[in-house]
Amino acid sequence: MGLFDKFADIADLYAHLTKDGVAPVGTPIERVLSPTRGIVDGNEVILAGTNNYLGLTYDPACIEAGKAALDEEGTGTTGSRLANGSYQSHHALEAELSHAFGMRSAIVFTTGYQANLGVISTIVGRGDAIVMDADSHASIYDGAKMSGADVHRFRHNDAADLGKRVKRLKSKVGDLLIITEGVFSMLGDRAPIREIVEVKRESGAYLMIDEAHSLGILGSRGLGRAEEEGCLQEMDFVLGTFSKSLGSVGGYCVSDHAGLDAVRHSMRAYMFTASSTPASIATVRAALSVMQARPELRTRLRLHFERVYAGLKKLDFVLGPEPGPVVAARFEDPAEALCAWRRLLSAGVYVNLVVPPATPGQYSLLRCSLSAAHSDEEIDRILAGYSRIKS
Amino acid sequence: MLNRVDCQEAVLRLAQDYCDRHNKSLRVSESTDLLDEVGLTSLDVMELIESLEDEFDIALPINDLAEVRSVGDLIEVTMKAA
């Protein structure tokens, strides 16, 4: 068997997906015109699949901060955080995150993936156990696998199932880490975090939440699902990314455990990679300020996603259980989903096509992510595009 | 304490259920390959493991998945966890 033979099936699938037009996976975006507009396949489209929830990628303050950092500190750090890659700005961002969350420690990572990989694979190990939501992101699965701890899953968003599984484990393991997400990336549904906190309290487990799709969106200060539900201080570890609401790239972990700071010296995903560029850090710091100063962005985003959710429901699409920044329409048949994706694109709307095994429940999804930067007219056009699928 | 006969019966039943649900005319035995013959994906195997955990009130880590290829393998990892 040749080295690449095992990829033959995936190559065939990709060839099938692209045979009738532009690729729905890894779609080339020929030009980006604004947070909500781009050119795909030669045509201007509304971007509704970019996770650019607050629309800050073109925010003047963020762009200005990035340009200034490029001028003052150069294009890259050329080293890891533990070598020469910890600039004053990296430390300043950590202090700002720590202050925003009201927690003692914060660590900034080069990507959100590395934040999950680094923290999870390091803080637990052999003899410990992880119990994680079955629909967790791949970075959580990968971190859990690398940790050496026993890994168990609980049924998606089912705190009673979590409780049952934790009870089975408690006497048999060392430390126990429960992992969930604030908002789930595929269906946009939210974790029942208060009920999960109850399980944590009863079991003495540690609790980690990934707020990748909820930072900037939920909570009175935009800190995510745990803040929204009034239980932020119950979180042992809050992780997230800068690549969605904050419109840049990077990841973070904040914790009120003073011991977190020492973990940086043991995390391979943190130690053996170049640190974030000065421009990335500068744009994140500016975006964090905007996020905190402009709660109206969250309000506007919420109005958009509630409107799109209600509109698609009315069109008889099968959706996730509740409105969220991601509104995903389910299809049983991948071919039908592909056809719908192409119709939507021809109507001038770009969303994500996601097919199994990346989706929960083996469905195919048209995954639409909304932005505060979408105009009301753009939301009208998104809904009109979906109605064409049904016509 | 879980005995092997009960474990074998449960694993065979669950694998057979999967075949029947997916219209596969296959009679499952201990040597049946769960991936190639039954057609389970790694996600399906994780769900099968969770069903076994509930059936026997045991904790079966998904780390053991790497060792599971056949119905017999799944019986062995279940017995080990019990």
Boundary (domain end) residue, out of A239, A274, A293: A293
Interface contact flag, B61 A357, Cβ < 8 Å: no
Domain final residue pick, A293, A311, A338: A293
The closest CB to that of A153, out of B50, B57, B58, belongs to: B50
Whose tokens are 């990968």? That residue is: A142
Query: Are A155 and B57 in contact (CB < 8 Å)?
Result: no
Q: Which of A20-29, A147-156, A191-200, A290-299 has the lowest mean pLDDT?
A: A20-29
What CATH number corresponds to the domain at position B56? 1.10.1200.10
Nearest Cα of chain A lies from the Cα of B64 at a distance, in angstroms, of 9
Identify the domain boundary among A252, A267, A293. Answer: A293
CA A236, CA A384: separation in Å to the nearest integer? 44
CA distance A183 to A163: 20
Give the pLDDT of residue A10.
Answer: 86
* B63/A145 touch (CB, cutoff 8 Å), yes or no: yes
**CA dihedral (A33, A213, A349, A385) positive or negative:** negative
Q: What is the pLDDT of residue A51?
A: 97
Tens of pLDDT, residues A223-278? 999 999 999 999 999 999 999 999 999 999 999 999 999 999 999 999 999 999 99
Determine how many CB atoms are found less than 10 A away from the CB of residue B69. 15
SS3 A99: helix
The residue segments making up the domain with residue B21 are 4-81
Instruction: Quote the CA–CA distance of A196 and A192 in Å, as a whole number.
Output: 6
Assess whether A65 and A127 both reside in one domain. Answer: yes
Q: Are A121 and A264 members of one domain? A: yes
Looking at residue B24, what is its pLDDT?
73
The mean pLDDT value of chain A amounts to: 96
Structure-block tokens of residue B22: 């997916």
pLDDT digits (tens, 9 = 90+) for A11-70: 888 888 888 889 998 999 999 999 999 999 999 999 999 999 999 999 999 999 999 999
Among A211, A219, A213, A217, smallest CA distance to A238 is for: A211
CB-CB contact of A385 with A82 (8 Å)? no
ipTM of the complex: 0.88
Residues of A with CB under 8 A from a CB of B: 129, 134, 145, 150-153, 155, 164-165, 168-169, 172, 357, 362
Instruction: Write the CATH number for A224.
Output: 3.40.640.10
Separation CA A200–CA A154 (nearest Å) = 14
Regarding whether A106 and A49 lie in a shared domain, the answer is no
One domain for residues A156 and A195 = yes
- Which residue would you say has higher pLDDT here, A369 or B78? A369
Enumerate the residues of chain B whose CB falls inside 8 A of the CB of residue A172: 59
pLDDT of residue A181: 98
Check if the beta carbon of residue A135 is closer than 8 Å to that of residue A156: yes
Tell me, yes or no, whether A136 and A268 share the same domain: yes
Read off the pTM: 0.94
Domain residues for the domain of A22 are: 5-53+295-390
In a shared domain, residues A306 and A213: no
Q: Domain count of chain A?
A: 2
Same domain, A196 and A179: yes
Checking DSSP bridges between strand A150-154 and strand A29-32, what pairing results, if any? unpaired
Residues of B contacting chain A (CB within 8 angstroms): 41-43, 46, 50, 53-54, 57-63
pLDDT tens by residue, B40-80: 887 888 888 888 888 888 888 998 888 788 999 999 988 88
A227 and A336 belong to one structural domain: no
Domain count, chain B: 1
B23: phi > 0 → left, psi -120 to 50 → alpha, else beta; which? left
Name the nearest CA neighbour of A210 among A241, A186, A188, A231. A241
- Which secondary structure element, helix H or strand E, spans residue A353, and what is its range? strand A352-354
Q: What is the pLDDT of residues A70-102, one digit of tens each?
A: 999 999 999 999 999 999 999 999 999 999 999
Closest CA to A276 of A143, A56, A79, A71: A79
Smallest Cα–Cα separation from A116: which of A102, A130, A126? Answer: A130
Residues A46 and A91 in one domain: no
Residues of A in contact with B57 (CB under 8 A): 168
Q: What CATH number does the domain containing A353 carry? A: 3.90.1150.10
pLDDT digits (tens, 9 = 90+) for A99-130: 999 999 999 999 999 999 999 999 999 999 99
Q: What one-character DSSP code corresponds to residue B65?
A: G
In the predicted structure, residue B23 carries a pLDDT above the cut 70: no
Q: Which amino acid is at A79?
A: G
DSSP strands (E only) in chain B: none
> Using CB atoms within 10 A of its CB, is residue A175 exposed (0-12), middle (13-18) or buried (19+)?
middle
Report the residue from B50, B57, B63 with minimal CB separation from A150. B63
pLDDT of residue B19: 80
One domain for residues A318 and A355: yes
d(CA A286, CA A246): 9
**Are A225 and A108 part of one and the same domain?**
yes
